[in-house]
Amino acid sequence: MIRFIARRIFLETIPALLVIATITFFLIRLAPGGPFSTEKSISVEVLNQLNSHYGLDKPLLTQYFLYLSKMLTIDFGPSFKYPGRTVTELIAESFPVSLELGLYALIIALVLGILSGMIAASKPSSIRDYLTMSVSMTGICIPSFVLGPLLVLIFSLKLGLFNVSGWNTASDRILPALSLGMVYVAYISRLTRGSLLETMVQDYIRTARAKGLSEKIIIFRHALRGAILPVLSFLGPAAAGLITGSFVIETIFSIPGLGRFFVTAAFNRDYTMIMGTVVFYALIMIFFNTIVDILIAFLNPRLRSTLK
């Protein structure tokens, strides 16, 4: 197990991080204009001072290596747009908010998705099946940035049940989490249904039935084990989507999360903030995917033996 993790870290995590950091670094450095080009008229001397203060006058490669070495100590530098605050500080402040939002969305997606998939699979080609699958198709086709405002329109503006935006009360969590998670309810529901249908025709299900077990036990104890694996595999891309989705949901609902910071940073050409956020996201994704892979290997006995 340790060897597996160590191998993961050295052969995959670090190279992937390096690649992503490098791509981002050169992408923004190669862009026309600098971080201050959107400022209104700055005199040349001030511009030069700013550039040398932030080390932007050094040759590109030097900047690159300097940046990499600083990264090792988790020092992403100061934010260009919020002087006096470091990028690390800003990330530490805003990430927990996004994490909370993402977790709620994920839980909604998993619970609703798996349940509806199971309902649909219990009687294939019945009304139950078509209904659940059509509703879940809706989830895929109504984008989060349409669903979000729609929910706000109905529940906040017309019915007055929730606040229009903000992240203060407990009820503020509900609409954003729903808007973010609904798409994934759809995917997970379809995955669960398909996977359950394939599992239920396996020989070992017939054996379980021949032992006199009830259908409920058969589904929950025997079928779900195997059927859940594709859903787990989907969690990786789902997490990536949740990050992307957070950009728009946090913007719509004025949630002070990392997603909104990133979008603002991009618009403001806040180099350090952009770099820091991207590298941080990469780290999160890789960490998350490693956990998912370990979980999958753990749940599949054949793979588990090879882990040892």
Partner 1 sequence: MPLDIKNISASFHLRGSVVHAVRDISLSISQGETVGIVGESGSGKTVLSLSLLRLLPSPPAVVKGKALFDSFDLVNCPDRVIRSIRGNRISMIFQDPLSSFNPYLRLSDQLTEPLLCHQSISRKEALQIATDMLSQTGIKEPHKKIHCFPHQFSGGMLQRAMIAMALVTKPGILIADEPTTALDVTTQAQILSLMKTLQQKYSMSIIFITHNLGIVAGFCDKVHVMYAGMILESAETVSLFKNTSHPYTKALIRSVPSLHATVDKLYVIGGPPYDPSQPLKGCPFAPRCEFSVAECFEEKMELTEVAPNHFTCCSRIKKGEISL
Partner 2 sequence: MKTKSINAGNSLWREGMQRFLHNRLAVSGLVFLLFMITLCIAAPLLTSYSYESQKLSSGATSPGASHLMGTDVLGRDLFTRVLYGGRVSFSVGLCATLVSVVIGVCWGSVAGWCGGKVDSVMMRIVDIAYAFPFTIFVIILMVFFQRSLLLLFMAIGAVEWLTMARIVRSQVMALRHQEFIDAAIGLGLSHPKIILRHILPNITGPVIVYATLTIPAIMLLEAFLSFLGLGVQPPASSWGILIREGTEAMEEYPWLLLFPGAILSLTLFSLNFIGDGLRDALDPKSSRE
Q: Does 185 bind partner 2 (CB under 8 A)?
A: no
Residue 78 in 3-state DSSP?
strand
Q: Does 4 bind partner 2 (CB under 8 A)?
A: no
Nearest distance, CB of residue 159 and partner 2, angstroms = 13
Cβ atoms within 10 Å of 292's Cβ, excluding its own: 17
Q: Bridge partners of 268?
A: none
C-alpha distances (whole Å) from 273 to each of 101, 197, 219, 266, 276 are 21, 47, 48, 8, 5
Nearest distance, CB of residue 193 and partner 2, angstroms = 8
The region of 44-52, 89-97, 168-176, 298-306 touching partner 1 under the rule CB under 8 A is: 298-306
**Residue 303: phi, psi to the nearest 5?**
-75, -30
Q: Does 146 bind partner 2 (CB under 8 A)?
A: yes
Nearer to partner 2, 173 or 193 (CB): 193
Q: Does 202 bind partner 1 (CB under 8 A)?
A: yes
Residues 125-144 close enough to bind partner 2 by CB under 8 A? 137-138, 140-143
Q: Provide the token pair at 305.
A: 């033996």
Whether residue 300 contacts residue 111, with contact meaning beta carbons closer than 8 Å, is answered with no
Buried b (16+ CB within 10 A) or exposed e, 183-219: bbbbbbbbbbbebbbebbeeeebeebeeeeeeeeebb
Nearer to partner 1, 42 or 217 (CB): 217
Please pick, from the candidates 214, 244, 264, 291, the single residue that binds partner 1 as defined by CB under 8 A: 214
Q: Does 226 bind partner 1 (CB under 8 A)?
A: yes
C-alpha distances (whole Å) from 16 to each of 11, 99, 140, 241, 272 are 9, 22, 30, 19, 19
Nearer to partner 2, 110 or 121 (CB): 121
Interface characters, 233-272, with partner 2 (x: CB under 8 A): ---xx-xxx-xx--xx--xx---------xx--xx-x---
Nearest distance, CB of residue 158 and partner 2, angstroms = 9
Nearest to 180 by CA among 235, 113, 244, 88: 244
Q: Does 54 bind partner 2 (CB under 8 A)?
A: no
* From partner 1, partner 2, none, interface partner of 212 (C-beta below 5 to 8 A by class): partner 1
- Tokens 């398909």 belong to 194
Nearer to partner 2, 93 or 129 (CB): 129
Q: Does 12 bind partner 2 (CB under 8 A)?
A: yes
Q: For residues 27 and 107, what is the distance between their CA atoms, to the nearest angstrom?
A: 35
Nearer to partner 2, 18 or 213 (CB): 18
